[in-house]
Structure 1
Amino acid sequence: MSAPNPLPTYVYKILPSAPPKPLPDVLPLSDLDANDGFIHLSTASQVPGTCGRFFADATELWLLKIRLQTLENGTGEVRWEAAGNSGVFAHLYGGKFGAEEVDESLKV
């Protein structure tokens, strides 16, 4: 499947607990990201569905707001891939992100 058109300005990394303060230069991979070989990201419109599907038991979540262009200009490769019937999601392969790439950390 192809990337959304137009591309979103931001993508989000969902965390089940607060990120470290201050944010490190490189955030550690989640177990899921390490096992899958890429970093799972969601667009703003995908965040509610992703939270409901994978984090339904969480009482709080954290969203890391990341400018997509920052990731695309980095060391990794952003691929837009289908995830079942849920649509096309951004996956970051071979890249990393941390304090420099995260524009905002939001508790939800």
Structure 2
Amino acid sequence: MAPLPPPSPLPKFVYKITPTAPPDPIPEQYPLSELDRQDGFVHLSAPWQIPITADLFFKDTPAFYILKLRLANFPASSVKWNEVDGTNGCPHLYGSFGAKDVVDVREFRREGSQSWREILEGEAWLE
């Protein structure tokens, strides 16, 4: 993964996709996924990347949850923008997040042969 400069302007929010419902209430320190623990950072997406990320990594998943995180809550030094599978500048959080960082959570579902891109592109919630 090659580090890239952060996008300009920076998005107000970054997003965490999870295949299962998040804990309710959101804990002070959100539990890391196995992949996040293994890689040493939290995999996140910028708003414009969500449809791409969903189709690449959740193509066989009929439903998932997206956690909306306020980017300004994290020190700039803890978020690295890396190229991953041709998607330029995916945000990776070298640290943790929790209840104070999560602005909102939504479940998304798809039917039949719909792609995540069809469902998520233009979704106003992904600002």
Normalised TM-score (structure 2): 0.78
User: C-alpha distance in 2, partners of 1:84/1:104?
Assistant: 27
Report the RMSD for the aligned CA atoms in angstroms.
Answer: 1.3
**Identity among equivalent pairs (%):** 43
Question: Where is the helix percentage greater, Structure 1 or Structure 2?
Answer: 2
User: C-alpha distance in 2, partners of 1:37/1:52?
Assistant: 23
User: C-alpha distance in 1, partners of 2:105/2:79?
Assistant: 21
Please list every run of 5 or more consecutive structure 2 residues that lacks an aligned counterpart in the other structure: 109-127
User: C-alpha distance in 1, partners of 2:80/2:68?
Assistant: 18
Match of 2:67 in 1: 64
Bigger Rg, which one:
2
Deviations 1:27-81 (A, max 9, x none): 11111111111001001110011111111111111010001001227xx711111
Please list every run of 5 or more consecutive structure 1 residues that lacks an aligned counterpart in the other structure: none
Deviations 1:1-50 (A, max 9, x none): 21101000000000001101111111111111111110010011100111
User: C-alpha distance in 2, partners of 1:65/1:45?
Assistant: 13
State the number of aligned residues.
105
* Matched residue SS, 1:82: strand
Match of 1:89 in 2: 90
Amino acid at match of 2:8: N
